[in-house]
Amino acid sequence: MGSLLVIAPVLVPAAAAGSYAVLGWNRITAWLGALSAAGLLACAIALATAGRSDALGGLLLSDALSAFMLIVIGAVALLAMLASPAYLATELAHGHTGPRAMRRYGVLTQSFIAAMALAVLASSLGLLWVAIEATTILTAFLVGHRRTRRATEAAWKYVVICSVGIALALLGVVMVHYAGTHAGVASLDWAVLAEHANRLDPGVMRIAVMLLVLGFGTKAGLAPMHAWLPDAHSQAPAPVSALMSGVLLSVAFYAILRVKVIADVALGAGFVRTLLVIVALASLAVAASLLLGQRDYKRLLAYSSIEHMGLLALGAAIGNSLALVAVLLHILGHGLGKSVLFLSAGQLHQAVGSSRIHAVRGLTARAPLLAGAFSLGLLALLGLPPFSLFASELGIARAGFTAGLGWAVALALVLMLVIVAAVGRHTRRMLLGGGESEAIALPRSVAVPLVAGLAACAVLGITIWPLHSLLQAAATIAGATP
């Protein structure tokens, strides 16, 4: 029974994908994706309470860290899939999609969710690489769903840049295997590598870790390999953007956390810390500079994702218990908040027919509920209370000053102030500016996930009691130092 529970988070969305392939997308099957996501979330919660377990001869492994990531995947997928039927119905009414494309959407989104679940359950570096490469193939077709020129260009850009990154990660995997083989450790299993990491050749491991951080960092949207992210997230269907920004980036960062555990033993904590501080500050600087002149609200949200991945990298670089608990909480809070924002942006784009900031004025008067969800999502994204990102960012800052990285935290805070000012200036015009008086309707099936996502993010900002033990255990597995 325990083995079946470990396999279930992959099997449930895979079965839903098969159902869409056979039955297509219709009024009944449209809600199958939400049912599948709810099932995945239930399995994740069950695994979190069950403790460490494996399946398929140890090929899949569930521990506190992978169970927490499954909860993030399930929560974000549930929000995205609840909003998908109304989103696709509007796209169909406007002539932007058709029955075949909707069938393909159902198959690909469920396969995408299954691949992410496989990535966090993989017990070895090799299987993790395969799963993340699978997400690239699947999401490339989703980014180009509308088949417009801009969507096609974004899909190709995504494929090319992420393929380069994942190729670098593959080279890193090969070098880790080479280092292990020469040390008598012929395995890519996380536990085995971590146990024998002090026997791995430091020279080979330095190159391998750099390649792995750069490769998986490409998929996580970290600088300098971030260029695919704004195009892909702005052109993909809104629920897919929610999945990509809210959880795919975090799954790729999860891979970096796993690599860091091995690297800290093989090379000492200083090497990976330096590497992560550099990419963290570079990502924050890139996000701040590009947000200042941004004119597209969907790309604005995408560039914000680069900022938050930079914060995760800074927290991982700090590496103590407080920092890693805050990093994991930030992953969940960012997934919830960014999902709300991309789903809101999708509704807004369908209503006004443009993603340009100047095309939206007076949203508060035209669509109070949509404006409220969008503005509260922005407050969460900018790290204001009572949302969980305030608590997680405060935790990362406190941990950084304690660990002697106060200078990096101070520089990050300055860049974050620039980001707050830029986002506030752009979105103020959308929410409060004068303009058209035509009202914008918000379907109930979209309003529910928006409200639920904001409520969950706010509750986690007030108390993490339901997740406290899980976060502590996951941080320990991620290599937290006292």
Q: Terminus-to-terminus CA distance in the chain, angstroms?
A: 36
258 with 190: CB under 8 angstroms? Answer: yes
* Integer Cα distance of 360 and 434 in angstroms: 9
User: What residues have CB less than 8 Å from 70, skipping those under 6 apart?
Assistant: 9, 40, 43, 44, 47, 48, 62, 117, 120, 121
pLDDT of residue 433: 64
* Integer Cα distance of 18 and 14 in angstroms: 6
Helices assigned H by DSSP within 94-201: 99-121, 125-143, 149-182, 190-195
pLDDT of residue 185: 83
* Integer Cα distance of 152 and 204 in angstroms: 39
Residues in the chain where the model's pLDDT stays below 50: none
Q: What's the pTM value of the predicted model, to 2 decimals?
A: 0.96
Report helix, strand or coil for 442: coil
pLDDT of residue 394: 96
Tokens found for residue 31 = 């809600």
Report helix, strand or coil for 346: helix
**Phi, psi values for residue 55, rounded to 5°:** -155, 165
114 with 100: CB under 8 angstroms? Answer: no
